[in-house]
Amino acid sequence: MKVLIVEPMKPCYVREISGLNDMQEIVGGHIEAIYPFKEQVAIIANEEGKILGLPFNRPLSDERGVPYDIVCGTFFLAGLGAEDFVSLTDEQIQRYKSLYGIRSYMTMSWSLPQ
């Protein structure tokens, strides 16, 4: 399955993975799926990332771009199938690379809403 890996303070990259062992290796522990998008894409992160004090990675933002949470540690994005995770499409990879790319992350506005 083709996924997009997002490490703290690094550019995103695509990797082929297969199975739970690969998923746990990427996130460094037990996985947790987060569903912040309207489309069938999930963020898979370490379920204890905040408790373990893993480094802040990227914020989760609402539809207005206002951050409401942050993912800690390395995570990856995968598509959602009927019963499991599936490969991202090339279009999804480009869209999420743009959203979570290091350049867009570093230039993100962190001002509070008025």
**pLDDT of 110 above 50:** no
Nearest to 77 by CA among 27, 29, 112, 111: 27
Backbone angles phi, psi at 85, to 5 degrees: -80, 150
For the entire predicted model, the pTM comes to: 0.88
- For residue 97, the surrounding DSSP H or E stretch is helix 90-100
pLDDT tens column, 53-76? 999 999 999 888 899 999 999 999
104 falls in which pLDDT band (50, 70, 90)? Answer: low
